[in-house]
Amino acid sequence: MLILGIMYFELDDSDPAIQSLAGLASFLTINTVFGTSSPIFNTFAIEKKIIMRERNSGLYNGFDAYFTKLMVESLVSSMFITIYIFGICLMTKAALGFKFISKFIFLHISLVNYSCSFALAISAIVQNHMISQVVGSMINILFILNGGFYSNSEAIPRFIKWLSLISPINYAFKASL
């Protein structure tokens, strides 16, 4: 956080500063997605064995296990991402305003919820944590490449253009600008 804060410290309203803020928004979006989903890819596939044993013994059903894990992961990740983004927004330029910072934090909390749901779903489908890391990261990279920052939606071939329409990163990046 400190390095990002120093790199983008007190940006003004010039064109290079606006371009830097767009780059920062893109980086924070990618960081939120990978920072939230990668630990879940690594741990949930291992925890799945415990959950299956407890489900088979009748302690709870699959929905309860999924929903509980989703709420815990989302709340913890949202707390950390809120502190992280609030600190960076204050360092870059507090003149962005409370309304913008609140919207930006809410947007990233929504992105955390998506990332947790996505990571839990991928980890539940595949056999082990190594495969979930590969498959989940590959899908996230496809969403990032079609998310609006690295490619122009007008230049994407028609047969793959639909990826930008289902990419949550596309909507998060557009909303953050």
Cα 50 to Cα 34, 67, 76, 83: the distances in Å are 25, 16, 21, 32
Q: Which residues, other chains included, contact 117 with Cβ-Cβ below 8 Å and sequence gap of 6+? A: 70
The mean pLDDT value for 63-69 works out to 88
pLDDT value, residue 174: 84
What pLDDT score does 23 carry?
79
pLDDT at 156: 78
Token pair belonging to 78: 């949202």
Residues 83-104 as b/e (b if ≥16 CB within 10 A, e otherwise) read ebbeebbebbbeeeeeeebeeb
Which of the four pLDDT bands, split at 50, 70 and 90, describes residue 145?
confident
* Residue matched to tokens 């003149």: 95
